[in-house]
Amino acid sequence: MNKLANWAATVTRKEFLTRQGGVVGYAIVHSKLIVVDPFTNPVVVTGSHNFSGSASENNDDNFIIVRGNQELALHYATHILSVYHHYRWLAYVSDLQKKGMQPGGFLLETGDWQKAQLNSATKRELDFWVR
């Protein structure tokens, strides 16, 4: 039995609809947004529109374009990164579990966990997104 994330499942829309049967814990991401240049010239596009041909031609979908609101763009960019990192983690765990391994390490209760993040390529990425 997997010790970590054995409850987590990434499922398709069809699986999501047919596997519910009292099961709690399955979810899908249905964020519909685009963020362009959140730091210099921010643009956010969001709404019910799926950014597809049928959304534009057949459905009654809509979207709003917000320009110049850096605070809003940063919040949406943070959301996008959190979803990305969530699925990146699940993929990492899944890959290890296929090899019969579990992720190593543990959570630190002090601020020491930040040291590696602030002295590496991750620091450069953070500087790009936050400054």
Confidence class for position 5, pLDDT limits 50, 70, 90: very low
pLDDT value of residue 61: 83
Q: Which of 24-33, 57-66, 110-119 has the lowest mean pLDDT?
A: 24-33
Confidence class for position 17, pLDDT limits 50, 70, 90: low
pLDDT at position 58 over 50: yes
How large is the average pLDDT for residues 76-85? 89
pLDDT at position 11 over 80: no
Query: Domain spans of the chain?
Result: 31-102
pLDDT value of residue 45: 95
Query: Which candidate, 85, 107, 109, 89, places its Cα nearest to that of 97?
Result: 89
Strands 33-36 and 43-47: antiparallel
Task: Give the integer Cα–Cα distance in Å for 28 and 86.
Answer: 12
Per the DSSP assignment, residues forming a β-bridge with 36 are 43
How large is the average pLDDT for residues 54-69? 88
